[in-house]
Amino acid sequence: MKAFVLWCFAAFWPMSAFAGNIFGSLTESKQPIKGASVTVTCGSENYEGGTDADGAYSVRAEATGRCTFSVNYKDQTVETEVFSYNQPTRYDFDLVMEGGKYVLKKK
């Protein structure tokens, strides 16, 4: 019985380790955005991260459902809607200047 319980734990643990992970990349004019602050807000919970040298980010949001994805870049905060699921979810965005303000465009 112990062996079965340990096998179940080992088999399903890797899947739960990535639950709620929102990840992807941020670019501007096809160039990676490095050092931007990224926040995922689900209800009243905030989950924070940032982009690396390749523009990649990864934020673990414990909550699931509709969330707000925010990027703080060049003294502007840009937001869009994303969804957090019980499995890793990828969102790649391009920051585009429109009318003097940035907007997030899904790739």
Model confidence pLDDT, tens digit, residues 3-19: 443 344 444 444 444 45
What letter would DSSP give residue 35?
S
- The CATH architecture one would assign to domain 19-106 is Sandwich (2.60)
Please state, in angstroms and rounded to a whole number, the distance separating the CA atoms of residues 27 and 8: 40
- The pLDDT value recorded for residue 20 is 82
pTM check: above 0.85: no
Extents of the domains making up the chain: 19-106
What is residue 19's predicted lDDT score, i.e. its pLDDT?
53
Is residue 107 within 8 Å of 96, Cβ to Cβ?
no
Averaged confidence pLDDT in the chain: 87
Average confidence (pLDDT) over 20-44: 96
Nearest to 18, CA basis, from 64, 50, 53, 56: 64
- Summarised one tens digit per residue, pLDDT across range 72-88 is 999 999 999 999 999 99
